Amino acid sequence: MYQLTDNKIMLKYLAFFMFVVAFVLFPLALPSQETFDFLIPEPQRPGLAPENPDPISGQFRAYNLGMSLDNLKSALIADQLFRFRGDRDVSFLPIREETLVETTGASFIRRAHFQLTDEAVYIMSFSLDTRLIDHYSVFTTFVSRYGEPVILNPSEAVWEIDEVRLSIERPLTVKYIDTVVFERLNEEARIIESIEMLRREEFLADF
């Protein structure tokens, strides 16, 4: 009887050993199988930019680069989008011999700035109300109309042709610049600065 019991115990140990070999040790002894990674591409999303974008212009509503001061004031008076107060919103900057027109908006535009030189507008800047309109809406509208910007960074997006620079600046300002006039004024400013430095050096040499 004891011998039969011992045989049963031996059979149990043998069965356990075979289980360990078959299901634990044997898989470890097999060579590792190669695995392959499959990359499922994301679906292509249609771009916003059109195949034939519109050329950017220096015009917004009735306002355009190069317009005279009188025409600008008349347009602002007739436009209900602005609260233009006439000559009270017009100032002259004697240092640069420029005229600045600054007015508040009545809806999507908080403030508007127009800079004029030689009686012609060369910069138009519109600060939008972010409570009523968001940066993404303005940006996607511009891309769908004018194509991808030539400059894109966290502070601004820029579209540009030979004579006009259009930009969206954060938090949300749309700006039009006559680049020909702007570069001319910058060059004149650099020349004046060089002359002033030369005069300063000549004055110091007198001591």
Tell whether 8 is covered by a domain: no
Tell whether 81 is covered by a domain: yes
Mean pLDDT calculated for residue range 74-100: 93
CA distances to 34, 40, 86, 127 from 37, rounded to whole Å, are: 10, 10, 69, 50
Tell whether 65 is covered by a domain: yes
Tell whether 202 is covered by a domain: no
Which residue has better confidence, 96 or 22? 96
Tell whether 200 is covered by a domain: no
For residue 205, which phi and psi values (nearest 5 degrees)?
-70, -15
pLDDT interval class at 135 (50, 70, 90): very high
Tell whether 25 is covered by a domain: no
Structural domains counted in the chain: 1
What percent of the chain is predicted at pLDDT more than 70?
A: 74
Tell whether 191 is covered by a domain: no
Helix H or strand E encompassing 176:
strand 173-178
User: Which range of residues forms the domain containing residue 142?
Assistant: 59-178
